[in-house]
Structure 1
Amino acid sequence: MKIVPFKAVRPARDKVALVTTRSYDEYTPAELASQLDYNPFSFLHVLNPAYLNQQKLSEAVRFKAVHTRYTEFKDDEVLRQEATPVFYLYEIQSKSRVFTGIIAGTAIEDYKQNRIKKHEDTLPYRVEYFKDYLHQTGFNTEPVLVTYPQHKGLEEWIIARKQRRPLYLFSSLNRDKHTLWRIRDEQEIAWIQEQFSGMESLYIADGHHRSASSELLFDQYGQDGNASLGYFMSFLICESNLKIYEYNRVVSGLNGLSARQFVEALEVDFEVTNRHLELWKPEQKFEFGMYLEDEFYSLKLRDTAFKSVLEALDAQILYDKILHPLLGITDLRNDGRIDYIPGSRPITTIKETVDEGHCTVGFMLYPASIDEIKQLADNDLIMPPKSTYIEPKLRSGLVVYEL
């Protein structure tokens, strides 16, 4: 497995807390307006360059404007480029967890040869869109989240490396603490590369569209002599350090069934227990929670014998046993009756969504394990859409990979 250091672009040290942002899509309109109105250093100004004049730009014009704004941030030294290629060690500390990984370039060739493995499908239009974005803006600031197996040597190195003075130490507005160490010693870089060279496989946890877009960009322009196109920026994290949440489902309507008829139909495949007002959620695999007409239910699958890891995946079981045959949902991506709520949000979110009449029934799942994800990837199988919500979620504008 080949990983490489790169001449990253990053914020000036005194501005890093002001520059970095959550992913653009995570902001509510009010939050976005607040950041853009009152923080001139926010990387959101790069990502949304038309904010000040409220223009609706064509795709090509917008991408060019993003590139121009990015260049202005560099000219004003809000962003600065490393003098030599480097790795970074990056730690995110929240109230409940600490995530630590290495920011590096991972090889498109390893991705093509399926040594960097996938478990999610991609949408061609999104891959094409982000490929054009990368090509015209000339940079990427969203690392692909990639996992590696337990490695004692890297674990010991990380513990020791954290004892040194960091390049950055700052807190974000959600009270997470961020620490970044720069790795520029050639011998240390070579040692890290050697550890990864002995690994047979890496696994994409999050960022399937970003990696697929990087591959497409390489296929179209990789022969132009730009070596950076042969790699995409990744956050390499030990698989045991991930936090994998489920994606819960809420559905509008019961496909013509009454609530009583629906519960009776569920009893064919599940042991159904009325939990009344108990905020119940699954405690193990093959269990499902349901909220319907002001009451919670537990659903325990009766037959747990399956022929493949995909059939045994809880998200697939929910589709095969309930969503498709009982509720008539065939397209999990595009059917307007179904919506998804990440398991990182409290179970009361599902209750409120149903109680307020936005949906009729909510389903809670038990999260998939890293072993299930790896088995699916090893067998070239694809999870149903919105099967996992994986942390850490990385900040934009902290480290930029130029193309």
Structure 2
Amino acid sequence: MSLIRPFAALRPAPGRAGEIIAPPYDVLDRDEAHALAAGKPWSFLHVSKPEIDLPPETDPHSPEVYAKAAENLRRMINAGVLRRDPAPFYYVYRLVMENHVQLGVAVVASVAAYDTNRIRRHELTRPDKEDDRLRHIEALNAQTGPVLLAYPKAPEIDAIVAEAAVGEPDADAISETGVRHSLWVIRDPATLTRLTEQFEQLPALYIADGHHRSAAAARVAAARAKADPQSIHEASHGYFLAVAFPHHQMRILDYNRLVRDLNGLSEAEFLHCVSERFQIEASPVPARPRKPGEFGLYLHGRWYRLTLQSAFFPDHPVERLDVSLLQRHLLTPVLGITDPRRDSRIDFVGGIRGLQELERRVDCGAMALALVLHPTPMDDLMAVADSGEVMPPKSTWFEPKLADGLVSHVLD
């Protein structure tokens, strides 16, 4: 099996992409999705968040929700809003967010490579979230949410993709957040072959975002292969939908923490405990970390810059991450938060919301303090994946995000 291969995408008819594209299914709750899709009958949220078309009390994991997703997808296909390409192609996918540009390629990636760790992950998955994506794939007989992949240094691939992104795109739309999503179809057989061969030379691909989608696709492939053990090598279910970008173009934002209380400490006691492992410096402006090992703290209307003492830096690829350092040297020993996955005293805010959102939630009394992290470097993510380990929860926030609805992978 090749690492990637072309596929016949289900995608918007010419001129319809702006009516269709939607944020990823997992960045909106039901109410947000319902409001965003209001008055937009062709929004892909009707497929990715179909509970918006059912009574508010509907369990989002009930069978009727997945049935509604399939019904809505059929409606879009029957209306000609979505069309499937007549042959397998690759698709250049460009993201533009303000001054940031990413140029990658939409592909289907090998489940076998995922199973053998050539497509590498860095996060644990939750069975309930895997189950949800599995039921969605089975109901639609399609994968509609692309997995975000990174590939290591490969100038030949970069050049092929750049050469294909010329002229007017086949699809072009600006999302509600101002991100421009553009798509060019690579139809030339020689270029398709070159791209497949160049990817085949890579040692690995890295999942940046979409661990539950890729895990669910692997489970679908395994289940279908039981009936036909050879099918996984050639059938469409042996591959999952993805968009691969060069790792040096990808943008990770900070993923910050809010804590509800000081664990019974006064402000002075809390700062004293922190000072045992961090240098504390008052900051007249919001303290955005300038380098790894530095953190911002917002407490009682004041900003501080925290710098971890050098004696506490390990060499281990996971333990040296800022999220690990903060957990080991502040959240656990000072604030008593030992399990950030389950502790209700801690919350997480993606850096896209800005430091003002942290100030707002502390100033209104909902939270006692905010902690700002330096973004996880892409090289650190890849090092963790290469070591076969996993990162702590809420370590990365990728931005801009891929849109749902621009390309989907139909399982034949």
Determine if the TM-score, normalized by the shorter chain, exceeds 0.5: yes
Structure 1 contact 143–394 (Cα < 8 Å) conserved: yes
| Correspondent of 1:389 among 371, 386, 397 | 397
Q: CA deviation at 1:30?
A: 6.5
Find out whether 1:98 has 2:101 as its counterpart. yes
| 1:124-170 C-alpha deviation (Å, 9 max, x unpaired) | 22112211221122112211111111212122222322223421223
Quote the RMSD (CA, aligned, Å): 1.8
Q: Match for residue 136 of structure 1? A: 139
The 1-side partners of 2:223 and 2:54 are apart by 34
Query: Aligned to 1:13, what secondary structure does the other structure show?
Result: coil
Q: Match for residue 306 of structure 2? A: 299
Query: Aligned to 2:137, what secondary structure does the other structure show?
Result: helix
| Correspondent of 2:243 among 225, 228, 235 | 235
The 1-side partners of 2:354 and 2:227 are apart by 49
Q: CA deviation at 1:171?
A: 2.5
Question: Structure 1's 113 and 31: CA in aligned 2 closer, same or farther, altered over 3 A?
Answer: closer
The 1-side partners of 2:401 and 2:245 are apart by 12
The 2-side partners of 1:350 and 1:283 are apart by 18
| Correspondent of 1:290 among 279, 287, 297 | 297
Query: Aligned to 1:346, what secondary structure does the other structure show?
Result: helix
Question: Structure 1's 159 and 290: CA in aligned 2 closer, same or farther, altered over 3 A?
Answer: same
Query: Aligned to 1:14, what secondary structure does the other structure show?
Result: coil
**Partner AA of 2:317 in structure 1:** V
Query: Aligned to 1:345, what secondary structure does the other structure show?
Result: helix
The 2-side partners of 1:109 and 1:45 are apart by 31
Query: Aligned to 1:347, what secondary structure does the other structure show?
Result: helix
Structure 2 contact 33–52 (Cα < 8 Å) conserved: no
Question: Structure 1's 126 and 25: CA in aligned 2 closer, same or farther, altered over 3 A?
Answer: closer
Matched residues, percent identical?
Answer: 32
The 2-side partners of 1:234 and 1:375 are apart by 21
Query: Aligned to 1:387, what secondary structure does the other structure show?
Result: coil
| 1:201-228 C-alpha deviation (Å, 9 max, x unpaired) | 1111111111111111112123445611
The 2-side partners of 1:131 and 1:33 are apart by 23
Q: Match for residue 222 of structure 1? A: 225
TM-score by length of 2: 0.93
The 2-side partners of 1:314 and 1:50 are apart by 37
Question: Structure 1's 60 and 28: CA in aligned 2 closer, same or farther, altered over 3 A?
Answer: closer
Query: Aligned to 1:91, what secondary structure does the other structure show?
Result: strand
The 2-side partners of 1:321 and 1:102 are apart by 41
Structure 1 contact 252–338 (Cα < 8 Å) conserved: yes
Q: Give the aligned length.
A: 402
Q: Greater shift after overlay, 100-109 or 306-315?
A: 306-315
Q: How does 1:44-83 map to 2 (within 5 A)?
A: 44-49=45-50, 51-52=52-53, 54=55, 56=58, 59-83=62-86
Q: CA deviation at 1:59?
A: 1.7
Q: Greater shift after overlay, 204-213 or 225-234?
A: 225-234
Q: Match for residue 338 of structure 1? A: 346
Query: Aligned to 1:272, what secondary structure does the other structure show?
Result: strand
Q: How does 1:5-16 map to 2 (within 5 A)?
A: 5-16=6-17
Q: CA deviation at 1:49?
A: 4.0
The 2-side partners of 1:328 and 1:351 are apart by 22
Find out whether 1:247 has 2:248 as its counterpart. no
**Partner AA of 1:108 in structure 2:** V
Structure 2 contact 105–161 (Cα < 8 Å) conserved: no
Q: CA deviation at 1:34?
A: 4.3
Q: CA deviation at 1:48?
A: 4.1
Runs (4 or more) in structure 1 with deviation over 3 Å come to: 24-37, 47-53, 223-226
TM-score by length of 1: 0.95
| 1:303-349 C-alpha deviation (Å, 9 max, x unpaired) | 24414121111100100011111111121111110000112221111
Structure 2 contact 90–186 (Cα < 8 Å) conserved: yes
The 1-side partners of 2:180 and 2:77 are apart by 25
Q: How does 1:112-131 map to 2 (within 5 A)?
A: 112-131=115-134
Q: 5+ unaligned residues in a row in structure 2: which ranges?
A: none
Query: Aligned to 2:196, what secondary structure does the other structure show?
Result: helix
Q: Match for residue 258 of structure 1? A: 266
Q: Greater shift after overlay, 111-120 or 342-351?
A: 342-351
